[in-house]
Amino acid sequence: MEKKDLRIIFMGTPEFAVAPLEAMIEDGWNIIAVITAQDKLQGRGRKPKNSPVKDCAVKHGIPVLQPPNLKNPDFIETLKSYKAELQVVVAFRMLPEVVWSMPPLGTFNLHASLLPDYRGAAPINWAIINGETKTGVTTFFLKHEIDTGSILFQEDVPILPEDNLGDLYEKLMQKGAKLVVKTLDAIVKGEVQPRVQDETKAKNHAPKIFKETGEINWNLPAVAIHNLIRGLSPYPGAWCRINDKTCKIFKSEVLATDSSGTEVGAFKTDNKTYVHFQTGEGTLSILNLQMEGKKRMDIGDFLRGNSLST
């Protein structure tokens, strides 16, 4: 079968799914429709805003479906009418079996971890938060339980000490785009050999990130807090309270200096160049922050216009 003859439906919503979609289009795959989330109302005027995937599909003239309910009989009939032979899913919501089991060649998903490790909604965040030095991307066939289907291909991606969420997101997005195309090529050539996930390697979970996830516990070691900050930067940001105001911290540095005489959670500052927090183990220097009601700034710029009382 030629790639132009394979009828594919693509499902995805955020920016992370755009790179794989663009890669498929550039490589000449026959994408007959895109399924994405409904437009969100944003701003004071509550104007509808397209998902990044919808913008991409519209730009390339691909039909777009935005069902509010994936189990709706009318949507199911519409989906059947496209007679897709394969479905590709990247960063989309859970699919009912009637949807993922519909195409004869199945439905495969791109996940931003080395499955079975870091199954769940936020694998990129948690890999950094847990201090991992390696992660990757996986393509796998969908089945009932989330992120548990048979693995098709995997690619490793190193996590560098200076990487934050934004950095790793970009690396995995680009690597994932190439892996999706590689997976499609193998499926068309009949060269895929799906392998069951090894449950002994499912050591970590990647649940959704909530506001409370980002609250800094100064009793933790400085390294752990530093990794939390990296794993939530640039969004949504790790946070704490400073001088009775909420402060988001986006960049930090673990110091070798020992401030063992300082109370845990207390900070020292010259109100010119530095803010150092005492943690449960070691000292953490704050390099970039956003105080409540202020813009995000490097610490020197912030202290030039604001004083902190210790």
**Least confident range of 18-22, 151-155, 182-186, 262-266:** 262-266
Mind listing the pLDDT tens digit for each residue in 217-245?
999 999 999 999 999 999 999 999 999 99
How far apart (Å, rounded) are the C-alpha atoms in residues 111 and 123?
8
Cα 172 from chain centre = 9
How far apart (Å, rounded) are the C-alpha atoms in residues 286 and 6?
52
Residue 304, pLDDT score: 93
Distance from first CA to last CA of the chain, Å, rounded? 69
CA angle 169, 174, 176 (to 5 degrees): 90
> Residue 105: how many CB atoms within 10 A of its CB?
17
C-alpha distances in Å from residue 278, one per residue of 55, 180, 217, 241:
46, 45, 11, 14
Q: Is 255 labeled as ligand-binding?
A: no
How far apart (Å, rounded) are the C-alpha atoms in residues 51 and 58?
11
How far apart (Å, rounded) are the C-alpha atoms in residues 188 and 108?
13
Residue 47, pLDDT score: 83
Mind listing the pLDDT tens digit for each residue in 149-167?
999 999 999 999 999 999 9
Mean pLDDT in residue range 265-282: 94
Q: Are 266 and 277 in contact (CB under 8 A)?
A: yes
In the chain, where are the structural domains located?
A: 8-201, 212-305
How far apart (Å, rounded) are the C-alpha atoms in residues 250 and 273?
17
Q: Are 298 and 275 in contact (CB under 8 A)?
A: no
Residue 221, pLDDT score: 95
Structure tokens at 253: 């540095």
Mean pLDDT in residue range 13-32: 97
- What's the predicted TM-score (pTM) here? 0.94
pLDDT surpassing 70 at residue 175: yes
Q: Are 88 and 24 in contact (CB under 8 A)?
A: yes
How far apart (Å, rounded) are the C-alpha atoms in residues 64 and 53?
9
Domain range 212-305, CATH architecture: Roll (3.10)
Provide the CATH topology of domain 8-201: Rossmann fold (3.40.50)
Mean pLDDT in residue range 55-79: 97
Q: Is 233 labeled as ligand-binding?
A: no
Q: Is 298 left (phi over 0), alpha (psi -120 to 50) or beta?
A: beta
Structure tokens at 168: 């790793």
| Three-class DSSP category at 87 | strand
Q: Is 115 labeled as ligand-binding?
A: yes
What does the CA dihedral 12, 204, 197, 138 come to, rounded to 10 degrees?
40
Any residues with CB less than 8 A from the CB of 61 and at least 6 apart, and which?
none
Residue 309, pLDDT score: 83
How far apart (Å, rounded) are the C-alpha atoms in residues 35 and 65?
5
How far apart (Å, rounded) are the C-alpha atoms in residues 37 and 288?
34
**Least confident range of 40-49, 144-153, 180-189, 278-287:** 40-49
212-305 shares the fold of 8-201:
no
Any residues with CB less than 8 A from the CB of 73 and at least 6 apart, and which?
none
